[in-house]
Amino acid sequence: MKGPHNIWRLVRTGATLERTGAMGVVLDAFDAPRPLRIAARLLGWPFKWLGYEGDPSMPPATRALSALGPAYIKFGQILSTRPDVVGNELAQQLRVLQDKLPPFSIETARQQVRAELGLTVEEAFSEFGEPVAAASIAQVHKARLAETGQPVAVKVLRPGIERAFRTDIDAFYFSAFVIETLAPSARRLRPRDVVAHFESVVLGELDLRLESAAASEFAANTEGDAGFQLPEVVWGLSGRRVMTMSWAEGVPLGDNDAIDRAGHDRVALSERVLQLFLNHALRDGYFHADMHQGNLKVAPNGDIVAYDFGIMGHIDEYTRRVYAEILYGFIRRDYKRVAEVHFEAGYVPADRDVDEFARALRAVGEPIFGMDATRISMARLLSYLFEVTERFGMETRTELILLQRTMVVVEGVARSLNPHMNIWRVAHPVVEDYIKNAIGPRASVRDLTRAAQVLARFGPRLPGLVEAALIRQADPREPPRRNPWPGRLFWGGGGTALGAALVLLWHVSA
């Protein structure tokens, strides 16, 4: 981390918010207390002249974030899906960040295509139009394949995006260091780990070959999902900085007026988008982790079409089961079980009181049930939940950051379609179905089968492992010697698969 450089970057961030008029908008959106407003203005106003001017035609918050760079834009994209947190006015302003940023020139895009594919645009495409969408990292052009005339979407990375992103993320690391230094109580949130996780996720967006592979895997997993479709990758015209996919027709999921004119049922769409996400996360453990309105369309037949696969989330089977049990516990209002799952998974330190934690969770969950979604202040709920995690010493789980963030985004998308949607009622059948399949006799049989397969692969090595374990137990300082008899005696004595597994685990952990 380059200290002086990052101090300057942070000062300029505050100055940009002040210069563009975004400071007041942000403070109002979060209902900041008067002392904080006064402090922010006193610190920001003297440096106002140092801020970026941005595009005066944009709303203040959008103008500031787009001027500050790609990482700030990503943050704004997330906030744009949460009108219940930042208010309708600011959410509408930030929605521009999803796919309506200023594009780079078509000539630059043509140069990028030629440099990456080794073909001129004319050789690859019979048509190559102006950009139809421009986001923080890349922009998309509608084109037609020269060979077949098929309409396609050509995604091209912004020139210099890697360096711009590195500048932003370096400042974030510095900010995390300052927070941990000046506010030791915040260390449990592991801000530097959070930034590292965010960095690894977005770096994946900067290599379109990885996005192409993600799209292919996601399509294979979701092939049988009703009411859901994905564009296909054109592998021969895709590379690190250019990606070509079949064109997806439809209206943007964020345009309620267009959805209504097309005759689609917004209530059904809101429920489907949430249930699709939960199915992908729980059933497959592989989900689209950037499901904001700018990456979703409604096809003419009513299907939801997803695209832009630069950020995909993966969670292992154990974590999925924990997550499902927590969700199911909230749905059933069984807060004691939710608390127990947190303790069993190690999310809460073992020295804390499980009953007290359950009561704290009840205070989070109860306001949701039996209440119109429009009356729920998600900002207050999140604020209280943060207080709960702080009081019980819970650390940030970096492996769950992407899942939690996407859940917030998807809920925001669903509620933008139907403000009265009850998230728990809609989630219930998906989570209940997963619980039935993942926890129970059938799941136990599957787990044992997988364990047997692993043991079978280690079978040829087990006698040697047993031998090494016995030698180590006799004299830990003595290096392993090749002696066939201990292993033979073990197997001759009727050693079982369970015994072999225990020895193997002891050997690995010793």
Residue-level pLDDT at 489: 33
Residues 268 and 352 in one domain: yes
Give CA–CA dist 322/44, Å, rounded. Answer: 44
- What whole-number distance in Å separates Cα of residue 288 and Cα of residue 277? 8
H helix intervals, 475-496: 484-492
Same domain, 272 and 409: yes
Among 74, 97, 120, residue at a domain's last position: 97
Positions annotated as catalytic residues are: 290
Query: Is 164 part of any domain?
Result: no
Q: What distance in Å separates the CA atoms of residue 216 and residue 209, rounded to the nearest whole number?
A: 11
236 is a domain residue: no
- CA dihedral for 156, 157, 158, 159, sign (positive or negative): negative
Distance of alpha carbon 245 from alpha carbon 261, whole angstroms:
27
CB 80 within 8 A of CB 43: no
Residue 69 region by backbone torsions, left for phi larger than 0, else alpha for psi between -120 and 50, else beta: left
355 and 457, same structural domain? no
In this prediction, residue 251 carries a pLDDT of 95
The confidence score (pLDDT) of residue 298 equals 97
CA 493 vs CA 53, 170, 488: distances in Å: 80, 60, 8
Task: Specify if 484 maps to a domain.
Answer: yes
Query: Can you give the pLDDT of all 510 residues of the chain as single tens digits?
Result: 555 667 777 778 878 888 888 888 777 766 666 665 676 676 667 777 788 888 888 888 888 888 887 778 877 776 675 665 666 678 777 777 766 677 899 999 999 999 999 999 999 999 999 999 888 789 999 999 999 999 999 999 998 888 878 878 888 788 778 767 766 666 665 778 777 777 777 777 889 999 999 999 999 999 999 999 999 999 999 999 999 999 999 999 989 999 999 999 999 999 999 999 999 998 999 999 888 888 899 999 999 999 989 888 888 888 888 877 887 887 788 999 989 988 888 888 888 999 999 998 888 778 766 665 556 555 455 555 656 776 787 765 655 667 777 887 888 889 889 988 877 788 888 888 887 777 666 666 766 777 777 767 766 776 777 777 777 666 655 554 444 433 333 333 333 333 333 333 333 333
Q: Looking at 48, 65, 97, which one is the last position of a domain?
A: 97
Work out the widest C-alpha separation in the chain, in whole angstroms: 83
Q: Are 37 and 68 in contact (CB under 8 A)?
A: no
Of 380, 459, 485, 433, the C-alpha closest to 85 is 380
Domain count for the chain: 3
Q: Which residue has the tokens 């934690």?
A: 357
Is residue 463 located within the same domain as residue 323?
no
CA distance 18 to 45: 7
Residue 131's beta-bridge partner residues? 141
Same domain, 484 and 403: no
**240 near 404, Cβ under 8 Å?**
no
- What's the half-sphere exposure (Cβ side, CA atoms, 13 Å) at 403? 21
Is position 107 within any domain? no
Residue 303 falls inside a structural domain: yes
Instruction: Note whether 28 and 65 are same-domain residues.
Output: yes
Residue 115 located in a structural domain:
no
Instruction: Indicate whether 121 belongs to any domain.
Output: no
What residues make up the domain containing 459?
444-509
pTM above 0.75, yes or no: no
Residue 5 has φ and ψ, to the nearest 5°, of -60, -45
- 282 part of a folded domain: yes
Sign of CA dihedral 343, 346, 349, 350: positive
Whether residue 254 contacts residue 416, with contact meaning beta carbons closer than 8 Å, is answered with yes
Q: Indicate if 419 and 478 belong to the same structural domain.
A: no
Cβ atoms of 288 and 306 within 8 Å: the answer is yes
pLDDT of residue 483: 44
- Check whether residue 435 and residue 352 sit in a common domain: yes
Both 281 and 410 in one domain: the answer is yes
CA 48/CA 482 separation, integer angstroms = 74
Nearest 10 degrees: Cα torsion 279, 238, 156, 93: -10
**C-alpha count within 13 angstroms, C-beta hemisphere, residue 381:** 17
373 and 452 part of one domain:
no
Residue after which a domain boundary falls, among 439, 457, 483: 439
**Same domain flag for 389 and 478:** no
Cβ atoms of 274 and 416 within 8 Å: the answer is no
How many residues appear in the chain? 510
Q: Are residues 435 and 448 in the same domain?
A: no
